[in-house]
Structures are given as structure tokens and as C-alpha cells.
């Protein structure tokens, strides 16, 4: 029998999707989660004047379309939840209207601000009070950039809502601030469990616009009457504040069921590698390795490293396609497989790869500067990116172990990036340990799990993860070519 249905929206930097999750009894006393995609849409950033923005109203429109389609297709979800990338936000004025289009985190307004704020506040203090690694896009730098530009929006703002909360607001009329997103801002103090008003004061950021965070699983509310009429849907569906940060939703869906500490890699535009803790680790050691402590689902903190990820490859692909070449992933991966191994390497986290105008040129500039042979074919480029990522994962896994005194028998890989099986194979090789790949739709599934917990269908995060393990095929990649990887890791470390 079908015991519950929920609707998850997962918005990534390149696309968004809506999935229905159905909890079913399997006839032998067990339960399965069945997932069906009902809507998928592009998320295209727009440059307007000198700023890079999200097309927020389009995203709201697509979320509404997803709700309409769910009911049109005959589903009756009890609840819906929305997760998105971190850090970005909209500002509402006193009438609840959106003050301008939200900025995209890759907008250049924050260039140089990590250093500037570091001089004002001191990196030690900033880290001890936020536990967040120093990334230019953190909300704290975006707001400081607006202050420096004397943005009138800051003065007119009554409420700041992070992207998923902003979408939920336009569906329900209710303003909430969900905890996992709050911890990505750099303005939330995880040890004191409160907003860092003192820091806001020092940077000229209005403290009054921040709402007290609510934990994942809280109900936001039903759809407004306007939205229900517009979409022609019944009043039965309630919006839940899930783990609204996509990374945290994905981590909730890691099928780790042994009860032992585990390591994970959430693989998408970004790669987030780390482990789950009960308390944040804001030690000088964690700061020196530039790890984040992000608030997670189920009263956890996630000690993780944000790695540049498949963004580098996505940009290359975009450039090839703009030149009129056909460059789908299966094709690119096949070309990489036939290219020679370990020819050239990059450090993926080099700031030059964050937002270059021309990624292909940037890769070869790096080769010249580091005295490596230039990349001449697409296969060489893709292979270089994937091998370098795998090596970076090994480095980050070892750092995670160092920081936590843990030792991991292997690595769980989840998220869209694991559809690239070559990357999973390379990672197992570079680690010299097995990789367990799955599920692909981890963020959507984790989003559903929190809804199922909120609806009383799952008792705990542990039980929810068991449901994932019982419902999805997890593929094991055993390490291959470990000696060559070992040798290459040494060259990588010397780069």
C-alpha cells in the first residue's frame, strides 16, 4: 500500500527539479521510498548591468508549475519542501515586497572582501564565531559589499530571507529562517546558537532583518489562498522547512547505517567532503585547513570542505557547446577514458578556477605556469580535471581524518556528479579505498526524508537513512591501479 506522498523541490546552480516521493509497504513488512521526477527546469543566471543575478521570479514560477503538475498527475502530497544552494538571499521591504533581484553568489561584488573583512575583524575571530570556511560568496561578504556600495536596499530591508525561505514565503505568506541555511551565512554563531549581532554591527549589516532560525522539520504553513486558486490545487498541502540547504539534504540521504562514523562526498557543481559531528569544530586546526561547520539535519554539524568540484568541467562543456561542438557527458567521459592517464594535474581549489571568463584558457595557463604539458585535446582536459578532483578528494578525506581522529573504511558518494562513473572509479583509485555510489538524487531524497519525519512517517535520521539503503541501488567501486595513484598523489601534493 501507499502510505504517504511528499513533494520535493531541489534547485541547483544549473537546474531545478520537482520529485514526488511515495512511501510504500513492500508486502513483507519493509518499506520503500519510490521517487518520480515530475518537473525539471533550467536555472539561468542573468547579468544585468554590472551584477550577476538569479532569475528569482522565473524560479518561483517553475516551483508553482511543479506543484500544479504534481496534482494534475494525480498525486496528493501531504507536504512539500524546498532546498537550494547556500548563502544567497532576497530582501523584503516593509510591505513584504522583494527589493530587487537576488544576487548570484558568483557575482564579482565580493572580490577581495575576504581579505578586507579579515583585516577588520581578524580571521581567527571570524572563524571562531562562525565555523565557516573563508569563501568569497558567504552572505556576510555579500552584505558587506552592499554596505560598501551604499545600497539603499539595505536600509529599506525589513527582512532577509535565504532563497528557499523566500520561495516558501511566496507560497505561504509566512516568513521563516531555516537553520541549515542560516549556518551558511557566516553571520550565525553555532556555539552560541544565535545570530552574531556584534559582527553585523561592526560591518554595518542591519541586525534587525534576521529572523530566529527554526530547525529542519518545522511546518511553515499551508499555501495561500491566492496560490491555491492560481494553481487550482486543494488546501491539504503544507510547506515544511526541510534541510533547506541542498548539501544538508544530500547528507541526510547518505545511506550510512552501521552506526559508525562515516565520510561522504556530495558531488554536484561543488564537491563537499566531510563527516558528521554532534558539535562544531572551530579549532585553529580546522581553520588552517579551511573546513566549514554547517548546521545539518537531525541536530548535527557537518565538518566539511567545499571543493571547486565539477564546475570546472561544466564550464569547459559550456565553452565547447558555445563553439558549436557536441559535448554531452557520455561523450566527454569516453574521450577522457581513452586519453593517457596522469599527464597533467591541477589544484582544483585554486581561486583562478572560481569564475574565469575562459576556463579552457585558464587550465592551459596553469599548465604553463606549473611547467606541465599543455592540454591539447578535450579528452586530456576532462581526464586532467577528473583525476585532479579524485586526488583532491583524497587530500580532503585525510584532512577530515586528521581533524576528527577518525579513520574511514571508504567514502559514500552521492549527488548528480556520481552519474560520472569515471569520477567514482578514479576516486576509489586515488583513495585506495572503496567508494559507495548512490543515491544520485540525494538532495531531493533528503528533502523528502525530513518531510517524512515531520509527518511522523520516520522516527529518526537513522531510520530515514535505513530507508534510503533499502530503497536505492548503491554501487561499490573497488580501488584499481592503486600504485599509480599513490605515485601521482605525491606529484599532486608537490604542485
The least distance separating ligand LFR from the CB of residue 372, rounded to whole angstroms, comes to 29
Which of 80, 195, 84, 218 is CA-nearest to residue 143?
Answer: 195
Strands 46-48 and 51-53: antiparallel
Cα 492 → chain centroid: 26
Tell me the closest approach of the beta carbon of residue 429 to ligand LFR, in angstroms. Answer: 25
CA angle 447, 451, 455 (to 5 degrees): 170
- Sequence-distant (≥ 6) Cβ neighbours of residue 260 within 8 angstroms: none
Smallest separation, CB 235 to ligand LFR (Å): 32
CB of 272 to ligand LFR, least distance (A): 5
Cβ proximity to ligand LFR: between 245 and 317 the closer is 245
CB of 247 to ligand LFR, least distance (A): 4
Answer yes or no: are the C-beta atoms of 33 and 448 closer than 8 Å: yes
Residue whose CB is less far from ligand LFR, 139 or 380: 139
Can you tell me which residue has the cell 596553469? Answer: 366
Grid cell at residue 449: 526524508
- φ, ψ dihedrals at 389, nearest 5°: -60, -45
In the complex with ligand LFR, the residue whose CB is nearer, 137 or 408, is 137
Provide, rounded to whole angstroms, the least separation between the CB of residue 322 and ligand LFR: 23
Q: Are 239 and 388 in contact (CB under 8 A)?
A: no
Cβ at position 451, least distance to ligand LFR in Å: 19
Residue 246 is a catalytic residue: yes
Applying CB under 6 A, the residues found at the interface with ligand LFR are: 12, 85-87, 105, 137, 245-247, 268-270, 272, 306
User: Under the phi-then-psi rule, with left for phi > 0, alpha for psi from -120 to 50, and beta for the rest, what region is 383?
Assistant: alpha
Q: Which residue is nearest to ligand LFR (CB)?
A: 86
Contacts of residue 10, Cβ cutoff 8 Å, sequence gap at least 6: 16, 17, 19, 83, 84, 246, 249, 441, 443, 444, 447
DSSP 340: P
H helical segments located in 405-460: 421-431, 442-454
- Catalytic option among 83, 88, 165, 246: 246
Map grid coordinates 528557499 to a residue: 164
Nearer to ligand LFR, 233 or 263 (CB): 263
CA distance 187 to 202: 12
Give strand pairing partners of 238.
79, 222
109 secondary structure, DSSP code: G
Q: Which residue has the cell 508486502?
A: 27
List the helix and strand counts (H, then E) for the chain: 19, 21
Q: Distance between CA 241 and CA 180 in Å, rounded?
A: 10
Active site positions, annotated = 246
Amino acid at each position: 500500500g501507499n502510505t504517504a506522498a511528499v513533494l520535493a523541490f531541489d534547485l541547483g546552480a544549473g537546474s531545478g527539479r520537482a520529485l514526488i516521493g511515495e512511501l510504500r509497504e513492500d508486502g513483507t513488512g519493509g518499506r520503500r521510498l519510490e521517487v518520480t521526477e515530475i518537473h525539471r527546469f533550467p536555472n539561468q543566471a542573468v547579468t544585468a548591468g554590472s551584477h550577476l543575478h538569479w532569475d528569482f521570479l522565473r524560479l518561483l514560477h517553475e516551483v508553482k508549475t511543479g506543484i500544479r503538475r504534481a496534482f494534475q498527475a494525480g498525486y496528493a502530497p501531504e507536504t512539500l519542501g524546498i532546498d537550494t544552494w547556500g548563502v544567497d538571499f532576497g530582501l523584503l521591504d516593509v510591505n513584504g515586497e522583494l527589493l530587487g533581484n537576488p544576487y548570484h553568489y558568483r557575482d564579482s561584488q565580493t572580490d577581495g572582501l575576504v581579505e578586507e573583512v579579515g583585516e577588520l575583524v581578524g580571521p581567527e575571530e571570524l572563524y571562531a564565531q562562525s565555523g565557516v570556511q573563508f569563501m568569497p560568496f558567504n552572505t556576510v561578504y555579500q552584505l558587506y559589499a552592499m554596505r560598501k556600495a551604499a545600497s539603499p536596499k539595505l536600509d529599506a530591508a525589513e527582512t532577509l530571507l535565504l532563497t528557499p525561505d523566500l520561495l516558501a514565503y511566496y507560497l505561504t505568506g509566512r516568513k521563516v529562517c531555516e537553520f541549515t541555511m542560516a549556518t551558511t551565512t557566516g553571520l550565525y554563531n553555532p556555539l552560541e546558537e544565535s545570530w552574531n549581532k556584534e559582527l553585523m554591527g561592526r560591518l554595518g549589516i542591519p541586525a534587525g532583518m534576521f529572523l530566529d532560525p527554526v530547525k529542519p522539520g518545522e511546518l511553515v504553513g499551508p499555501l495561500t489562498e491566492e496560490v491555491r486558486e492560481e494553481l487550482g490545487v486543494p488546501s491539504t498541502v503544507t510547506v515544511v522547512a526541510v534541510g533547506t540547504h541542498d548539501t544538508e539534504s544530500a547528507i541526510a540521504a547518505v545511506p550510512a547505517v552501521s552506526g559508525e562514523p562515516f565520510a561522504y562526498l556530495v558531488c554536484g557543481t561543488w564537491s563537499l567532503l566531510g563527516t558528521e559531528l554532534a558539535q562544531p569544530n572551530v579549532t585553529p586546526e580546522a581553520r588552517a585547513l579551511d573546513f566549514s561547520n554547517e548546521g545539518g539535519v537531525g541536530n548535527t554539524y557537518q565538518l566539511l570542505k567545499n571543493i571547486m568540484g565539477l564546475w570546472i568541467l561544466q564550464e569547459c562543456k559550456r565553452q565547447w557547446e558555445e563553439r558549436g561542438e557536441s559535448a554531452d557527458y557520455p561523450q566527454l567521459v569516453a574521450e577522457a577514458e581513452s586519453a593517457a592517464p596522469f599527464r597533467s594535474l591541477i589544484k582544483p581549489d585554486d581561486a583562478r578556477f572560481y569564475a574565469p571568463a575562459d576556463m579552457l584558457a585558464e587550465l592551459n595557463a596553469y599548465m604553463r605556469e606549473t611547467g606541465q604539458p599543455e592540454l591539447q585535446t578535450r579528452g586530456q582536459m576532462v581526464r586532467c580535471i577528473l583525476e585532479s578532483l579524485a586526488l583532491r578528494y583524497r587530500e580532503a578525506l585525510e584532512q577530515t581524518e586528521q581533524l576528527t581522529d577518525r579513520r574511514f573504511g571508504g567514502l559514500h558518494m552521492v549527488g548528480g556528479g556520481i552519474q560520472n562513473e569515471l569520477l567514482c572509479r578514479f576516486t576509489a583509485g586515488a583513495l585506495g579505498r572503496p567508494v559507495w555510489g548512490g543515491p544520485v538524487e540525494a538532495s531531493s531524497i533528503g528533502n523528502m526524508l525530513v518531510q517524512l519525519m515531520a509527518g511522523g512517517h520516520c522516527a529518526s535520521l537513522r531510520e530515514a537513512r535505513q530507508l534510503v539503503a533499502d530503497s536505492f541501488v548503491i554501487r561499490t567501486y573497488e580501488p584499481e591501479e592503486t600504485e599509480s595513484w599513490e605515485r601521482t598523489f605525491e606529484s599532486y601534493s608537490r604542485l
